[in-house]
């Protein structure tokens, strides 16, 4: 995105950071509930709604997983592996990483990400990007003009809301030792990510100015290329080790999503009991691998497939968490179904070319608006309590 949108290439990171700060406001309550988002819906509305939310979750998580696979493949191809072998290797490594203990895996992947971030800072300084980074906030405001207002709204809303509604983020909140730790973790992530979000675009813009990116044919390889180049400058021959650390960080993100997808797949299957069965993880990887094979941009892949989920369940989720109330099962199904119908229709119309480049915005805002309207009409009769005390740990 930096190569086409300038410093606005940091928009995805900023939107995610805003979502993390929003998640921090109710992370303690989410921790006390102690269940995945689809189970929360299931206890409030019944098993059919639980399975529907789990299936909808699979749609957007497939897109996020596909983006992680695409990033891993870009790194593998930069090392020199052919395309098919790169994708097979990345999928196999993500599957292996998803079987690791969550706490152990989190420490390993965080360490690799920290190493990559330190080299990223060095690479930016070495390329003369510190001045760009120092001006990142005003440059972001300037370069946001390259987006249409509708496209800007769709990215910020789709990414920020997904953090608040996404099971892959929630799993770490639920794994916290105490509710205060869950809140602090989300707040810290948001603050740090705002600072980190501008590092990749500043580095990409600085390298573009020097002409060093002219030989790259895939924009996804810009950051891996820059980090490998910087690692060699620090320690000759260390490029492969640095790229391996960067790949491990990408595998960590992919593994976290696979865990959440495996849990959602098991929740969507009426007779499923063992959510840790490797078959669920393999099914999740198959869906992500197929989407990754399309070759769509990383951010576009994530945004385009999650708007239907958000439009379907967003209003009900806000009602549950902020008001501790719910609707009768039939009315909840009507609210979700109306958002799904409008958002899905807009998405398909955009895919068919009947709506222009702002199809994601129409899908998200239209679906959310209709589901909220239907929900408000249903709520006039008086919502009933969800029984939050019964869901607490």
Q: Which residue has the higher pLDDT, 6 or 217?
A: 6
pLDDT for residue 204:
92
Q: Taking the model in full, what pTM does it have?
A: 0.81
Tokens 């708007």 — which residue?
307
Q: With bands split at pLDDT 50, 70 and 90, how would you rate the model's confidence at 388?
A: very low
Given a cut of 70, is residue 25 above it in pLDDT? Answer: yes
- Residue 68's nearest CA partner among 238, 246, 280 is 246
Measured at the alpha carbon of residue 376, what is the angle toward residues 25 and 17, in degrees to the nearest 5?
25
Q: Which residue has the higher pLDDT, 366 or 104?
A: 366
Q: Which residue has the higher pLDDT, 25 or 168?
A: 25
Rounded distance between C-alpha atoms, residue 175 and residue 278, angstroms: 21
Tokens 């009768």 — which residue?
328
Averaged pLDDT, 104-132: 85
**125-140 per-position pLDDT tens digit:** 888 899 999 999 999 9
Given a cut of 60, is residue 386 above it in pLDDT? Answer: no
Phi-psi region of 187 (alpha: psi -120 to 50; beta: other; left: phi over 0): alpha
Rounded distance between C-alpha atoms, residue 365 and residue 77, angstroms: 38
At residue 326, the 3 state secondary structure works out as strand
Tokens 């260390």 — which residue?
238
Averaged pLDDT, 1-10: 91
Q: Which of 148-152, 155-159, 256-260, 338-342 ranks highest by mean pLDDT?
A: 338-342
- Residue 336's nearest CA partner among 52, 62, 58 is 52
**172-194 per-position pLDDT tens digit:** 899 999 999 999 999 999 999 99
pLDDT for residue 381:
60
Q: Residue count of the chain, please give it.
A: 393
Tokens 């998405």 — which residue?
347
Averaged pLDDT, 351-361: 78
**264-322 per-position pLDDT tens digit:** 887 777 665 566 677 778 888 888 888 777 666 777 777 777 888 888 988 888 777 66
pLDDT for residue 317:
80
Given a cut of 60, is residue 389 above it in pLDDT? Answer: no
């Amino acid at each position: 995105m930096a190569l086409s949108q300038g410093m606005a290439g940091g928009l995805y990171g900023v939107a995610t950071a805003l979502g993390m700060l929003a998640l921090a406001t109710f992370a303690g309550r989410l921790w006390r509930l102690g269940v995945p988002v689809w189970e929360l819906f299931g206890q409030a509305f019944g098993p059919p709604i639980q399975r529907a939310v789990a299936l909808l979750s699979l749609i957007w998580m497939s897109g996020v997983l596909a983006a992680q696979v695409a990033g891993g493949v870009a790194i593998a191809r930069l090392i020199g592996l052919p395309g098919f072998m790169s994708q097979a290797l990345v999928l196999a490594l993500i599957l292996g990483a998803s079987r690791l203990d969550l706490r152990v895996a989190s420490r390993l992947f965080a360490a690799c990400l920290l190493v990559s971030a330190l080299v990223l800072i060095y690479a930016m300084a070495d390329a003369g990007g510190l001045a760009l980074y120092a001006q990142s906030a005003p440059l972001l405001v300037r370069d946001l003009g390259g987006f249409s207002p509708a496209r800007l709204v769709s990215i910020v809303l789709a990414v920020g809301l997904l953090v608040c509604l996404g099971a892959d983020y929630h799993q770490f909140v639920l794994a916290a030792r105490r509710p205060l730790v869950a809140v602090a973790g989300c707040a810290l992530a948001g603050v740090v990510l705002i600072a980190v979000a501008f590092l990749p675009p500043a580095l990409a813009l600085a390298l573009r100015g020097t002409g060093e990116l002219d030989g790259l044919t895939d924009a996804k390889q810009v950051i891996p290329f820059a980090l490998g180049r910087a690692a060699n400058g620090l320690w000759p021959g260390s490029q492969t080790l640095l790229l391996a650390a960067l790949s491990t960080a990408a595998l960590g993100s992919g593994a976290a999503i696979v865990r959440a997808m495996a849990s959602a797949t098991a929740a969507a299957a009426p007779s499923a009991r063992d959510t840790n069965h490797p078959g669920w993880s393999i099914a999740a990887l198959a869906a992500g691998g197929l989407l990754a094979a399309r070759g769509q941009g990383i951010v576009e892949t994530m945004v385009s497939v999650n708007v239907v989920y958000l439009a379907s369940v967003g209003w009900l989720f806000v009602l549950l968490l902020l008001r501790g109330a719910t609707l009768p099962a039939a009315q909840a199904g009507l609210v979700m179904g109306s958002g799904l119908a409008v958002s899905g229709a807009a998405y398909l119309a955009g895919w068919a070319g009947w709506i222009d480049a702002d199809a994601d915005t129409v899908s998200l805002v239209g679906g959310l608006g209709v589901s909220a309207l239907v929900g408000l009409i249903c709520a006039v009769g008086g919502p009933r309590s969800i029984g939050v005390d019964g869901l607490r740990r």
